[in-house]
A and B are shown apart, each in its own frame.
Chain A
Amino acid sequence: KQEVTQIPAALSVPEGENLVLNCSFTDSAIYNLQWFRQDPGKGLTSLLLIQSSQREQTSGRLNASLDKSSGRSTLYIAASQPGDSATYLCAVGANNLFFGTGTRLTVIP
């Protein structure tokens, strides 16, 4: 069964700093990897989808990379803002998704 781990579990950074969130998975035969953010008490917002044949995706200040051979993905957030404070989840799978435990990010003004 696919296991997904995210490190660190929590991260606190000053506003403006660049940061990297890490995701690792055990089964490299994945189809897709998707990054989400979850605000307290809310559902999930899709940030980036990396399909199996792709290596990275970019959206605004966000860049996600995928290395299937090593079982890793990273989410890079440039010039962090207080509005980026949320829990970030990575998930892997074909149709149904296996979720990591999340990284709780706090950006301090």
Chain B
Amino acid sequence: SAVISQKPSRDICQRGTSLTIQCQVDSQVTMMFWYRQQPGQSLTLIATANQGSEATYESGFVIDKFPISRPNLTFSTLTVSNMSPEDSSIYLCSALDGAYEQYFGPGTRLTVT
């Protein structure tokens, strides 16, 4: 299994600013993902973080708003840009292990005022 940590665990940000969330996995993994969980909702996939190339975004999510980096097999960042109150959510990082089991980080709770 993979152990995933995220930083920060929570933040309160002003409208129009940006926040970068870090995700660290304790072992090398082939695939990493970023999800969003809006208040009272289930999880929605934002993008697949590809190592060494541009992330693959799901419908409704764009690189300008959610730039993602993945410099190696254990680390990824998600930036939420030009934030508005609608971006208030929990952002979760996940990783897929060799047995196709997906593990999640503890999440970053973001509040935009």
Contact A96-B100, Cβ < 8 Å, known A43-B106, A101-B42: no
Cross-chain contact B43 with A43 (CB below 8 angstroms):
no
Q: Which of A32, A42, A99, A100 contacts B100 (CB 8 A)?
A: A32
Q: Which of B48, B100, B109 contacts A41 (CB 8 A)?
A: B109
Q: Does A49 sit within 8 A of B, measured CB to CB? A: yes
Interface residues of A in 15-73 (CB under 8 A from B): 31-32, 34, 36, 41-46, 49, 51
Q: Does B101 sit within 8 A of A, measured CB to CB? A: yes
Q: Which of B45, B101, B104 contacts A49 (CB 8 A)?
A: B101
How many chain A residues touch B (CB < 8 A): the figure is 22
A99 to B104, CA, bound (A): 13
A32 to B99, CA, bound (A): 10
Q: Does B102 sit within 8 A of A, measured CB to CB? A: yes
Cross-chain contact B96 with A43 (CB below 8 angstroms):
no
Give the residues in chain A near B104, CB-CB below 8 Å: 36, 43-46
